[in-house]
Structure 1
Amino acid sequence: MAITLNLTKSVPSLKLVLEKRGITRMPQLEMNIVADVSGSFEDEHREGVTNDLFTRLAPWGLSFDPDRQLDVFTFSSGPGSAHHVGSLTADNYQDFVARQIIAKVPGWNGGTDYSYVLEKMLQHYGWLPKAAGFLDGLLGRKPRSAARKRTLCAFITDGDNNDHARTRQVLAASQARADDAYILFLGVSNQGAGHFPFLEKVADEFGNTGFKRIADVRSFVQKSDDEINEFLIDPELAAWLSKA
């Protein structure tokens, strides 16, 4: 049975864990989910497991984001797969993956590259200029940037990527610019055997990234709000959130 959103219970739990981390005011920022749609993750999407994971993360966005929503991006391999799906809200979260993602997004069942969707996400929140269009090139116009917005990204993937060097370049450039964006990589395993050495390394290497391994996502989504919040909001993320 699909998990339902209960903000009456989830939001107080989030506030309590934040207070335990020394954060007494609810952070104000933009929240987004970036989801892997490579072939190896298809079963979890079709079985509703990733929709349940979205639902467990939704109270963060619905509490942190002034617009009470979470932007959702998807990716697989290559720049064409990096896609802004739309916004997840308290009104549309049920079956969001089935309605908006499965067999509908570009790159469905492809490979795995992280860098292109990271760039798209950073562009969306104004930390990178958007690529110039054809008409911009003809008219000699410079690439435009959106208004800069503080953002927290929950980046969900079930496997290693093929673009290690390019991903490091994107993360290094973001850190060098001092982008006010934090990327929490969630390495999701299907049967508890997944290893994510690259994500562990970049989480140590860059101050604007963190990593959490979810050994069994089906069990994880059944945990209590307190358990999920305690696990995800570690001292590094709490320090970043405290600046909001």
Structure 2
Amino acid sequence: MTSAISLQRGANVALRGERGAVARIQVALSWQPRGDLEIDASAFLLTASNKVRDDRDMVFYNNARSREGAVQLLEGAAAGGDGARVFQLDLANLPATVERVAFAATLDETTRRGRTFGHLSAFQVQVRDADAGTEIARFDLPLAGAREVALILAEVYRRSAEWKFRAVGQGFNGGLAPLAIQYGIDVAEEPTAAPPPRPAPPPAPTPPPQPVAAPPVPSPAPSAQRLNLEKRLVDLAKKDATLVNLAKKAAISLEKKGLLDHRAKVALCLDISVSMSGFYRSGAIATLIQRILALGLRFDDDGEIDVFLFGANAHDYGTVGAEDYRDFVPAMQRRYPLEGGTNYGKVIALIRRHYRRDLQAGQQPVYVMFVTDGETQDRTESERQIRDASHEPIFWQFMALGQSKAQAKGFFRRLLASDFQFLTYLDEMPGRLIDNANFFQVADPNEPSDEELYDLLMGEYPQWLAAARQQGLLR
């Protein structure tokens, strides 16, 4: 009996058994430790263009059979009953237009909790002769330092008249959505309902043979809301890779908080008092706009953020999106020159009025990023507005700009206007239905790294969401 070949990354082997070319193979995926980390396996039937013919060429737990039946995801006893993921391929019946079948694994988003493939101690891909039951080859993936949540594991491909197996072991950034998009899965239409849960394994006894029947109607393609978002980001990356990379960083922070699929309207409220002139001249506000827009791309279906301005007065600037954010600062300053005075209360009231119609529906929260470098001159009104707003599905994230008194010494410490004691008070203010505000201070908006900023922005937002739902502000 010929022993199985152990492959290294990039190596290949002809799919031959003891009697020559094999007709049917099984590709088995197994890993350690099992634990609570759920892994989803998928196979993509690909043409010469490296794309699927249609969505039915993605074989996974919700579509366990390709349209011709040549590729199947086995379950229960048929898969060995040990929890491995096993695909069976009928090589002779693969359509001539299918030149290869790629196998991938992704960490299930509901169980991974920030983990990556690097948290596994072992992951093996094994290819077997399905009829003889003998192992042809195996591939032990190198996982040390792996930071991805998706892997392209291996592929079965046509070379002349022969089928071969190649060990790939390539990490893929972004999970299942961009992987499916890369292979041509159509995500233009959003399904009316979420895909059904992964089916439970059948009982252990092998079922009796089934008569040959027509292939079943395929399950809907994985065209979930996130796939639509990821496709939009893929398209945008061709024009603005920096913005899309920021959106990916925002996604990491959202995933830590269990908010990867969360939807909210994002608003940016900017101080345009004269004291802010240095931040506008330095480009710090332009950079901040880009970073907040990246969060909006993850949170908001329309990919835009609403912008409000305040100094002595309050202004509704309108929306800013990927097409025009670079010109925001000069365009804004032409329309709204910097003002003397700082009044929070007026702009808070303006924002509340702006969203009042949407708030009555109670379906989608509003996340307000409120940026200022000075204390307000209308404390009583600002306090009243935030207290009243605690009955609405609006979260207020205040970011104060300026050096803290604690960082200065001697005479210069006395010169600093404040340590934003009023914003600290709003963060802790009693008498509200729920805690609807958070506050942090930085010397410069560029001071935190992208990752640090997004973590700061999500500091108390999940707790507010839970409280808002408990109080019936969100449904």
Report the TM-score range of the alignment, normalised by the length of the smaller protein: 0.7 to 0.9
Aligned residue among 459, 463, 471 for 1:239: 463
Is the Cα–Cα contact under 8 Å of residues 200 and 211 in structure 1 kept in the other structure?
yes
Partner amino acid, structure 2, of 1:200? T
8 A contact 1:46–1:102 mirrored in 2: no
Alpha-carbon contact 2:243-2:290 (below 8 Å) kept: no
Query: Structure 1 residue 217 and structure 2 residue 445: aligned?
Result: yes
Q: Distance in 2 between matches of 1:202 and 1:105?
A: 27
Report the equivalent of 1:229: 454
1:82-121 equivalences in 2 (<5 Å): 82-99=314-331, 101-105=332-336, 108-121=338-351
Q: Using the TM superposition, give the Cα deviation of residue 127 of structure 1 relative to its aligned residue in structure 2, in angstroms.
A: 6.5
The residue matched to 1:161 in structure 2 has which SS? coil
Q: CA offsets per residue over residues 186-211 of structure 1, 9 Å max, x none?
A: 10116976621100110111511110
The percent of aligned pairs where both chains have the same amino acid is: 27
> 1:13 and 1:241, CA in 2 relative to 1: closer, same or farther beyond 3 A?
farther
- Distance in 1 (CA, whole Å) between partners of 2:243 and 2:283 is 20
Residue number in structure 1 paired with 2:371: 156
Residue aligning to 1:123: 353
Secondary structure in structure 1 of the residue aligned to 2:349 = helix
Displacement of 1:65 in angstroms is 1.2
- Structure 1 residue 50, shift from structure 2 partner: 0.8
Paired residue secondary structure (2:255): helix
Tell whether 2:372 aligns with 1:182.
Answer: no
Bigger RCO (CA 8 Å, 6+ sep): 1
Provide the C-alpha distance between the structure 1 equivalents of 2:241 and 2:380, rounded to a whole number of angstroms. 38
Matched, 1:21 2:21: no
Which among 423, 430, 436 is matched to residue 199 of structure 1? Answer: 423
Deviation at 1:217, TM superposition (A): 2.6
Instruction: Verify the 8 A CA contact 2:401 2:441 in the aligned structure 1.
Output: yes
1-structure distance, mates of 2:247, 2:446: 22
Which residue does the alignment assign to 1:132?
A: none
Deviates more, 1:116-125 or 1:205-214: 205-214
Q: Distance in 2 between matches of 1:158 and 1:65?
A: 27
Identify which of 276, 298, 309 aligns with 1:63.
298
Separation in structure 2 between the aligned mates of residue 42 and residue 103 of structure 1, nearest angstrom: 14
| Counterpart Cα distance in 1 of 2:253 and 2:463 | 13
Q: Residue type matched to 1:156 in 2?
A: V
CA distance in 2, matches of 1:32, 1:73: 7
AA partner of residue 153 (structure 1): V
How far apart, CA to CA, are the structure 2 residues paired with 1:13 and 1:54?
15
Amino acid at match of 2:453: I
Q: 1:122 to 1:170 in 2, by over 3 A?
A: same
Aligned to 1:133: none
Shift of 1:97: 1.1
- Deviation at 1:62? 1.6
| SS of structure 2 residue aligned to 1:217 | coil
Q: Which moved more, 1:166-175 or 1:40-49?
A: 40-49
Structure 2: which 5+ residue stretches go unaligned?
1-239, 409-417
Structure 1 outlier segments of 4+, above 4 Å: 145-149, 190-194, 241-244
Q: CA deviation digits over 1:157-216, x for unaligned, max 9?
A: 0001111111011111112xx200001011011697662110011011151111011123
Q: Deviations over 1:57-108 (max 9, x none)?
A: 111112211211000010111xxx2111111101111131111x215227x3
* Equivalent pairs, count: 213
Is the contact between residue 251 and residue 298 of structure 2 (CA under 8 Å) also seen in structure 1? no
Q: Structure 1: 5+ residue runs without aligned partners?
A: 129-144
Q: Alignment partner of 1:17: what SS? A: helix
Q: CA deviation at 1:5?
A: 6.5
Paired residue type of 2:248: P
CA contact (8 A) 1:154 1:186 kept: yes
1:241 Cα deviation (Å)?
A: 4.8
In proportion to residue count, which structure has more strand? Answer: 2
Q: Distance in 1 between matches of 2:307 and 2:403?
A: 22
SS of alignment partner, residue 110 of structure 1: coil
Q: Deviations over 1:122-154 (max 9, x none)?
A: 1111169xxxxxxxxxxxxxxxx9876521100
SS in 2 for 1:95: helix
Which residue identity lines up with residue 49 of structure 1 in the other structure? Answer: A
Distance of 1:147 and 1:83 partners within structure 2: 25
**2:382 matched residue in structure 1:** 167
Match of 1:42 among 257, 268, 277: 277
3-state SS of 1:102 partner: helix
Per-residue deviation, 1:42: 1.4
Q: Return the alpha-carbon distance in structure 1 between the equivalents of residues 278 and 357 of structure 2.
A: 34
Query: How big is the shift at 1:228?
Result: 1.8
What pairs with 1:132-147 in structure 2 (closer than 5 Å)?
none
* Change over 3 Å in CA distance of 1:13–1:20 after alignment to 2: same
Letter in 2 for 1:21: K
Do 1:5 and 1:56's aligned partners in 2 also have CA atoms closer than 8 Å?
no
By how many angstroms is 1:10 displaced? 2.2
